[in-house]
């Protein structure tokens, strides 16, 4: 009997520790979680832009021969892609216009998945997951979005900017 109560005591202590760890994890501020998401997504698209710019002729050739996006001229598609890949990472790192940027990058990710690399869905779903969090929750308190909201918050409804939580 004494032996069983020792195990019961250990189990209770373990349960308490697990609950404490879960409680601590649940109290991590969203801003702490959003920052690495913003930097991770920014890095993905920034690196893609740098690759294109390192050999612009090769990039144009890829858009002409391999990517072949419907409805867009290859040169226009290449310029559009590199423009998005250069501007959106900067905005994400600053936490400026995070929700619209996330929406644009979700669109770009969808185009890449559907028309360019359909077998790369495991990678694209990771990008989409990060972008969906940023779209739904915003940049967090450590961002220019939050500072602008604090400064000009009366122009926005409290309901539309929940990332301040």
Q: Residues 115-160: pLDDT tens digits?
A: 999 999 999 999 999 999 999 999 999 999 999 999 998 665 555 4
**H-state helical runs in 55-159:** 56-61, 74-94, 98-111, 121-137, 144-152
Q: pLDDT of 60-73, one tens digit each?
A: 999 999 999 999 99
Closest CA to 38 of 135, 123, 161: 135
Closest CA to 124 of 28, 66, 41, 24: 41
Closest CA to 29 of 164, 149, 143, 129: 164
The model's pTM is: 0.84
Q: pLDDT of 6-53, one tens digit each?
A: 555 667 899 999 999 999 999 999 999 999 999 999 999 999 999 999
Token pair of 48, please?
């893609």
Write the DSSP string, 38-55. Answer: HHHHHHHHHHHHHHHHHT
């Amino acid at each position: 009997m004494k032996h069983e109560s020792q195990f019961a005591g250990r189990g209770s202590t373990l349960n308490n520790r697990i609950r404490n760890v879960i409680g601590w994890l649940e109290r991590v501020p969203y801003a702490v979680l959003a920052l690495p998401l913003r930097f991770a997504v920014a890095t993905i698209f920034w690196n893609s832009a740098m690759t294109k710019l390192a050999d612009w002729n090769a990039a144009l050739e890829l858009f002409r021969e391999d990517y072949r996006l419907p409805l867009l001229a290859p040169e226009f598609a290449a310029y559009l892609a590199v423009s998005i890949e250069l501007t959106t990472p900067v905005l994400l790192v600053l936490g400026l216009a995070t929700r619209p940027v996330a929406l644009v990058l979700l669109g770009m990710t969808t185009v890449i998945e559907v028309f360019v690399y359909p077998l790369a869905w495991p990678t694209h779903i990771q990008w989409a997951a990060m972008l969906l969090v940023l779209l739904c929750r915003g940049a967090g308190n450590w961002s220019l979005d939050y500072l602008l909201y604090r400064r000009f918050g009366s122009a926005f409804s409290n309901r539309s900017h929940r990332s301040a939580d």
